[in-house]
Amino acid sequence: MDTARIRNIAESISRETVELRRRLHAHPETAWQEVETSRLIEAELNKLGLSNVKRGYGGTESGVTAELTGDPSGPCVALRADIDALPVFEENSVDYRSTVDGVMHACGHDGHAAILLGTAKLLSSIENEIPGRIRFLFQPAEEHGIRSGAQELIDAGALNGVSVIGGLHLWSFFDAGLVKWKCGPVMASSDTWIVKFTGRGGHGAMPHKAIDPTIAAANFITALQTITSREIDPIDTAVVSLGQMRAGDAFNIIPNTVELKGTLRSFNPEVRDNMEGRIRRIADGIAAAYRCAAETEVAYMYPSVVNHEGATELLKKTAELVVGPGKVEETPAMMVSEDFSYYQHKVPGVFFFLGAGNAKLETDFSHHSPRFNIDEAVLPTGVALMASFALAAIEKLRSGEPI
């Protein structure tokens, strides 16, 4: 693999990559609504002459997969980008600002899609030299939560025949151009909990005639935190956070019900599996103490992202060649989540981060912020990283070495 050549090709198509990113940014679509986004991606892939171009997953018109076949008898490596936007009003004053009120690419998925399209363009220019196959997954609905786009692609056979998969995430908290990696658990599992307390509504001036579920809810909120402080080994980590609380319609009425909703995050599967029982036990006990009834529900979403050792080491070595050892660092584990984890339950995979933060360009705002943006100068770096990883993986697999 000639890394310098890969970098040069990536730089030579950087203007096209940036333009694609801006087109996607200006026309964002939320989870499972990425129809025009998918049509644009499909058209670009057809221009490149890729094979097995398929659009539409999960019973929708969203999502695109395609394959580049250098040597059909060689190993197959998959590369993935998510393509959905968020229900956020954009506040950036840029020429490519979102044209859809209340929807914007506030997490970098427009950049991910543009990088993977650039990667497809780069690799298609040297297709005859590639001793294997590369499958491109443009995945919808990463942000959906309950209905994962990754799982839908897997169910449709997107990983059939794939030996290893790679993915990246642009990250505004890291300096532009910095590559961050981690072996093992790197992003947490993500689940949603809901607890509903039911009492008996009544007049706020006569609480003795009612059964007040707000008292049960208030005590539950504080007791909930004892799960992490007193029930989980301090060596492990977990988060139990409350995000929503709904109760009542008037200041002088004791409500009939209180509904609480929050998120669960952890790395240890055993910790994750035991969370529902712990929440239910506390909710039921407090409800009984305050004469209420409690209903508990946990919606399981994404397992934790766990990077495969061999794939991570290959990515690390590849990144050091592409950007230099001084710009490749290990990242601490994060409590945010990603449905890339579903792919890693099927095949070895690595998910890494490419810094896109630049204070001078004001691209260091948080993900999901209405001011989120990226330093577009890193897009060709992303292209070179993804292409180089795919080629290195194929070379290693072709030689008979396991990833």
Within 89-212, residue ranges assigned H as helices are: 109-124, 149-155
Q: Is 329 tagged catalytic?
A: no
Q: Can you give the pLDDT at residue 401?
A: 87
Is the pLDDT reported for residue 1 higher than 80? Answer: no
Q: What is the largest CA-CA distance in the chain?
A: 81
- Residues 333-386: tens digit of each pLDDT: 999 999 999 999 999 999 999 999 999 999 999 999 999 999 999 999 999 999
Q: Can you give the pLDDT at residue 220?
A: 98
Q: What is the mean pLDDT of the chain?
A: 97
Q: Can you give the pLDDT at residue 232?
A: 96
How many angstroms from the chain centroid is the CA of residue 254? 40
Within 142-225, residue ranges assigned H as helices are: 149-155, 213-224
**What mean pLDDT is predicted for residues 282-301?**
97
C-alpha 195/C-alpha 220 separation (Å) is 9
**What mean pLDDT is predicted for residues 115-123?**
98
How many angstroms from the chain centroid is the CA of residue 134? 21
Which one of the listed residues 302, 338, 342, 343 is annotated catalytic? 302
- Residues 143-182: tens digit of each pLDDT: 998 899 999 999 999 999 999 999 999 999 999 999 999 9
- Residues 303-316: tens digit of each pLDDT: 999 999 999 999 99
Confidence category of residue 288, pLDDT binned at 50, 70, 90: very high
- Residues 54-68: tens digit of each pLDDT: 999 999 999 999 999
For residue 168, the cross-strand partners are 352
| pTM tops 0.75 | yes
**What mean pLDDT is predicted for residues 36-64?**
98
Q: Can you give the pLDDT at residue 146?
A: 86
Q: Can you give the pLDDT at residue 145?
A: 84
Q: Can you give the pLDDT at residue 267?
A: 96
**All domains of the chain in start order, with CATH:** 3-186+304-398 (3.40.630.10), 189-302 (3.30.70.360)
Q: Is 57 tagged catalytic?
A: no
Give me the sheet containing 189-198, strands edge to edge. Answer: 238-247, 257-266, 189-198, 293-302
Q: Which percentage of the chain shows pLDDT scores above 70?
A: 100
